[in-house]
Structure 1
Amino acid sequence: MVGIKTIKIDGEGIHVFKSAIYIFESSSRFTLELDIIVSEVTVKKYRKIENLIMEIELEDGRNINSIMHVKILSGGLPQLNLFCELNDIQEYEDFDRVNENDSWFPNIEEGITIEEIRKVEMPIEEVSLKLKLPIDQVEWLKIQKKATLNEMFQEFIYDIWKKQNS
């Protein structure tokens, strides 16, 4: 199996938790496939983009530079499937091959959890709350800065969450 050392998307290095690169063989063509587990933030960033400029450095020193199509794989861990057609597969002879009739595909999710991924890059989501509070608390909330409230609520929620999960 060919190992990947680094991956850049559109010139920007990304953190890859696990990966597999292989040749997919169908009756009509060969494609170079790259499956990567990345953070939820990375998936969100590239979700609506159809083609990416990929720079893949392999562990043996070879480099693959290609425009690849993107598929977001749903369910399970956050991952991208990137692929491009190959005309000449001779330089990829040592890559694993998957045939369209095979039931085997590389399982890159094994041995990693969403919690491990979020330790590296935690997604931040905006949330709106509707609360009924006494007027003095409402007045106090209105004079607070957004950053202060964000920090305060994060600490408050983590404290309660830790107590409930202990």
Structure 2
Amino acid sequence: MVVVKSVKIDGENIHLFKSVIYIFESSAGFTLQFDMIVSELIVKKYKEFENLIVEIELEDGRVLNSIMHLKIFQGKLPLINLFCELDDIHEYENIKVVHEDDSWFPNIEEGITIEDIRKVEMPIEEVRLKLKLPIDQVEWLKDQKPKDLNGIFKEMIYELWKSQDIKR
């Protein structure tokens, strides 16, 4: 099976955690399918797009350029499927052909966890809290810089999280 070396979407290099490229054969014809596990940040960045300009570099040196349609799969891991119609599959030698009736289907989620992905690229989300605190604590909080408060809460939550993991 052909191995993907690198991928660019709209000219930007994308970090691949795992991927598989194959040709899907159905009664409607052939489509080039490219499934890849990426970071949550990449999914968030491209989720509103329908079509993307994709450059896929294969380990054998070939480079595939195409405008591809985007599908995002909801699941445990951030998975993007890029696909395009093919007129002539002979240009894509050594790429596995999967028929719609085949029992084999690529599973790229095996052997990787969301924690592995977040070690490389951790999403940062904004959280707003509504608290009832004594006035002296409210005054102290108002005097702090947002950057300092982010660090304090991040450290405090990680410490609480670690202590709860130990108790389990």
Q: Same fold (TM over 0.5)?
A: yes
Task: Extract unaligned runs of 5+ from structure 1.
Answer: none
Q: What is the rounded CA distance, in whole Å, between the counterparts of 2:98 and 2:124 in structure 1?
A: 37
The alignment of Structure 1 onto Structure 2 pairs a total of residues equal to 166
- Output the CA distance in 1 between the equivalents of 2:74 and 2:64: 26
Corresponding position: 1:2 with 2:31: no
Q: Which residue of 2 aligns with 1:13?
A: 13
Query: What is the CA–CA distance in structure 1 between the aligned matches of 2:158 and 2:111, rounded to whole Å?
Result: 26
Give the distance between the partners of 1:62 and 1:42, measured in 2 at CA: 24
Aligned partner of 2:100: which letter? E
Alignment of 1:13-162 (within 5 A): 13-162=13-162
TM-score, normalisation: structure 1: 0.97
How far residue 83 of structure 1 moved from its aligned partner, in angstroms, is 0.2
Consecutive aligned runs of 4 or more in structure 1 exceeding 3 Å deviation: none
- Summarize deviations over 1:37-95 as a string: whole Å, max 9, x none: 00111111111111111011000000001110000011121110000011111021311
CA distance in 2, matches of 1:102, 1:126: 44
AA in 2 matched with 1:113 = T
Q: Percent identity?
A: 70
TM-score w.r.t. length of structure 2: 0.96
In 2, Cα distance between the equivalents of 1:35 and 1:28? Answer: 20
Measured on the aligned residues, the alpha-carbon RMSD in Å equals 0.8
